[in-house]
Structure 1
Amino acid sequence: MDELTIPAMLRRAEHYSPDRPVVSREPDRSLHHTTWGEIGRRARRLSSALLGLGLTPGARVATLCWSHRQHLELYFAAPLAGLALHPLNPRLHVDDLAYIATHAGDEILVLDEGFLPIYEQIRDATPFRQVIVIGSATGDAIGYEDLLAGGDPDWQPGPIDEHSTALVGFTSGTTGRPKGVEVSHRAVALHGLSTALQGWLGISDTDVLLPVVPMYHALAWGWPYTAALLGAEIVLPGPFLDPESLLELFDSERVTLTGGVPTIWMGVLRILDTNPARFDLSAMRAILSGGSTAPASMITGYGERHRLNLVHTWGMSELMMGTIAGLSADLHQAPHQEQLRHRLKQGRPMPFVEIRARSEDSGFAPWDGESMGELEIRGPWVATEYLDSPEASAEQWTDDGWFRTGDIVTIAPGGYIEIADRAKDVVKSGGEWISTPTLEGALMAHPAVAEAAVIGVGDERWGERPLAVVAFHPGSSATAEELREFMAPRMARWWLPERIEIVETLPKTAVGKFDKVALRRRFTAPIGAGS
């Protein structure tokens, strides 16, 4: 039955917002302008063309694409046809890509022409029976526009069960093999409605959204679907995710809401600090930062120097978005410093989402803003198991259905969570936890430091101690002792890292976070006794 489904979301865009723009940056950097009405017409025609390839309900359609208009059409076309779309992350290692496509049972691959070299490396290890190329197709591949032209322009979707799978996503695999998550039509619809509520993201048809988070990662936080549901304009940046290109789009398209990982916003802030009058961002009502903890210096830098509202969020591949650091009603009249203290946290759970923090003694941490525990979460768009992975599912979900996130948090009164660390990243020194995000934020507040990451290394006396890895701004420098002295007023002395390594740039993961696995491989020598 057609209830809370993606076809209903697209139908609303076509009926009520057919002329609202969809802007997409092309490979030659030009901008392509279309509308939600045209996206709907092409998506339905593409649905019929995909079914014409012999796909049956539930079949997986993989994509290897940047964020652009064709990918947006596929976001709707596959679910409209009762198929499941599976966006692949082109930045993953080819072995992981082959594993993911095989584990998901992907039958069709749609890819950008520029990713053909990646496909050639995984061709013999994947189950694809047909390849569709956006661009110039050769050999047995079909051109995307040729496939579309063969579709039925009058095709309409039939009834779809809102609980059926609409999309498939995989975790990044930083702690083992990537794990698959199935996302239902109902989950997408309820997530979109919740983000749209006033006091959360408050998205409306007057907004211009630009998801910097790619469409292959956490479903671009669900924004393509939310934009369709509400008739918001959407701007898709293609492969050009460098700060300069993004700022150009924010300015020219009058973007009101954007979101991405902190490493992106660090680069954008550096450009704004260098030449604050170059770009007009007066239309921007909020910049969302998620994926890892944003340094306090970055949040305050946007607000104090540029009057831009950078908002902390938290989510995972298993749930898209989970919390947003908006201010609750009781904080609207609070002093500025009190408001800032809450904005530096990851925020409150979105409507329908429940949270708790399990402490080491198997009880639950009180909501006092100080007691730590592992965050557990449940809600209508939180996954309930991994795809064909019963052992991994049993480890990650409790017997009563809560998802163990692996994040060590405190929960303050009112439900504000603050991530102290990832369970795998937390430094336990002498039996006490040390928060690596807190150390990283303190380091990045130093004017010479561009990037900083902290990992734990073995220590003969304390079991484990923090090791900091920093990269400086061009032309800037500082000694390890100067950095420690700068941090000292902000935390207990025993938290301070004895060892600080200087690098030109920090390694990043496939989704733009600091790659702590790579850092551990490089800096594994333990700190000796007596340190």
Structure 2
Amino acid sequence: MSLAVVEIPVGGRWLRDERITRRTGGILQYESLEPCLAELLDRSALRYSNRTAAVDRVGRVLTFRELWASAARVAGGLLDQGVGPADRVVVSYPNGFRWLSGFLGVVLAGAVPVLPAPSCNAAEIEWIEAHSGAVLTLDGDLPDGVPFLDGGASPDELALLYYVRAEAGALRGVELTNTNVLSTIEAVGHAMDLGAEGTRTVITAPLSTAVGCSVQLLPTLAFGGTVVVGGSRVVRVPWRHLRAAFPTSRCVRGWGVAETGGIGLLLPSEHRHRHPRSVGVPFGGIEVALLGPDAEKGIGELLCRGPSVARRYWQDPVATAEAFTEDGWFRTGDQVCIDGEGFVDPIAVRVL
């Protein structure tokens, strides 16, 4: 017997964004997005050219002008090597300035960055190269050529390809379109109020993950902030240590996976005392539903859909059919409880 999907209405009292509307009979969407990631980032680089874009662990600084000049030369070097629009390019560097220039260079070249899971070994990266159809892997010296910027792509074209591990350890390529990525950027920017000048984001996850790249890096750069890159080793730090080290910072708890664009649920710090176990409420146009025999009681498998949610797995129709429904829901596999206010409590979820 098949189980019905029970959609959970959460209302608009939490993290409301007036720019989100619903297509007729369809998924929520953002109005007036840029057509593609490259155009958004290029506009930001011009607008904030003299601001600091990135700081590394030893205190080196890159302004937006310097970072974009470096990325544009990488794009030109990729062009010289025959990389064209929509070609896939694996970016296989540790966290740092070289990763930033390489990744952004691929974007400015009009190509698609392929980002392996941080735990991938050499053999798995070779598999990813073949599976993704990558034309090149960046893992040594950065390409260097005449500065170049591609004319741009359409909203529905592939923008990023994250390779993530399934529960059994198999690798899957998560396709994110320009619309998916730009929707994540808008959602994070609005929820975290990134428009304020001087915003600094400490990168706490590998840049090759959806959290590190789509949630932390790209929104910060898009809104003219500064990313603090903590080198190749990323260490999980207890909340109390983060608050002690950054007493004026805004810390949030959340949930998200690459398939949801890195976002999904957010619990601002002001709600932590009333909801100590919760991983948050939906935001950024994300809607939630439950699947299971107790779904009507607020308990079951968490399902998500929204403008940032991926459309499918790369070259994997079987896994796609198992995880993505025809009406846009992604089956997370996580068991949760959702209360009357829309706060999601984990039974077995991945907490960021």
- Classify the TM-score, shorter chain: 0.7 to 0.9
Counterpart residue type for residue 172 of structure 2: K
Assess if the C-alpha contact under 8 Å between 1:24 and 1:238 holds in 2: no
Q: TM-score, normalised by structure 1?
A: 0.56
Q: Distance in 2 between matches of 1:239 and 1:161?
A: 33
Is 1:64 the counterpart of 2:6? The answer is: no
Q: 2:246 aligns with which of 281, 294, 298?
A: 281
Show structure 1 runs of 4+ deviating over 6 A.
none
Q: 1:342 aligns with which of 269, 275, 281?
A: 275
Assess if the C-alpha contact under 8 Å between 1:6 and 1:76 holds in 2: no
Corresponding position of 2:187: 194
Corresponding position of 2:199: 207
Is 1:373 the counterpart of 2:314? The answer is: no
Corresponding position of 2:255: 314
Is 1:355 the counterpart of 2:302? The answer is: no
Counterpart residue type for residue 70 of structure 1: R
State the identity as a percent.
24
Assess if the C-alpha contact under 8 Å between 2:38 and 2:152 holds in 1: no
Partner SS for 1:401 = coil
Q: Distance in 2 between matches of 1:104 and 1:56?
A: 15
Q: 1:19 aligns with which of 23, 47, 50?
A: 50
Is 1:103 the counterpart of 2:68? The answer is: no
Counterpart residue type for residue 394 of structure 1: A
How far 1:90 moved relative to its partner? Answer: 4.5
Corresponding position of 1:8: 39
Query: Matched residue pairs, number?
Result: 317
Deviates more, 1:75-84 or 1:399-408: 75-84
How far 1:94 moved relative to its partner? Answer: 3.6
Partner SS for 1:179 = strand
Corresponding position of 1:160: 153
Q: Distance in 2 between matches of 1:159 and 1:88?
A: 24
Q: Distance in 2 between matches of 1:201 and 1:195?
A: 6
Summarize the alignment of residues 215-254 of structure 1 with structure 2, pairs less than 5 Å apart: 215-218=207-210, 220-222=212-214, 223-242=216-235
Is 1:323 the counterpart of 2:276? The answer is: no
Assess if the C-alpha contact under 8 Å between 1:22 and 1:69 holds in 2: no
Per-residue Cα deviation, 1:383-419 (whole angstroms, up to 9, x for no partner) = 1211111111111122322110001111112321112
Pair 280,375 (structure 1): closer, same or farther in 2 beyond 3 Å: closer
How far 1:13 moved relative to its partner? Answer: 2.2
Q: Distance in 1 between matches of 2:199 and 2:34?
A: 25
Summarize the alignment of residues 104-503 of structure 1 with structure 2, pairs less than 5 Å apart: 104-111=132-139, 133=140, 143-144=141-142, 147-148=143-144, 151-153=145-147, 155-197=148-190, 200-204=191-195, 205-218=197-210, 220-222=212-214, 223-242=216-235, 264-266=236-238, 269=240, 272=241, 281-286=246-251, 311-319=252-260, 320-326=262-268, 340-360=273-293, 364-366=295-297, 371-422=298-349
Partner SS for 1:345 = coil
Higher-Rg structure is 1
Counterpart residue type for residue 192 of structure 2: L
How far 1:265 moved relative to its partner? Answer: 2.1
Q: Distance in 1 between matches of 2:120 and 2:211?
A: 16
Q: Distance in 2 between matches of 1:231 and 1:239?
A: 24
Partner SS for 1:373 = strand
Q: Structure 1 stretches of 5 or more lacking a match?
A: 112-132, 134-142, 243-263, 287-310, 333-337, 426-436, 438-512, 514-531
Assess if the C-alpha contact under 8 Å between 1:86 and 1:169 holds in 2: yes
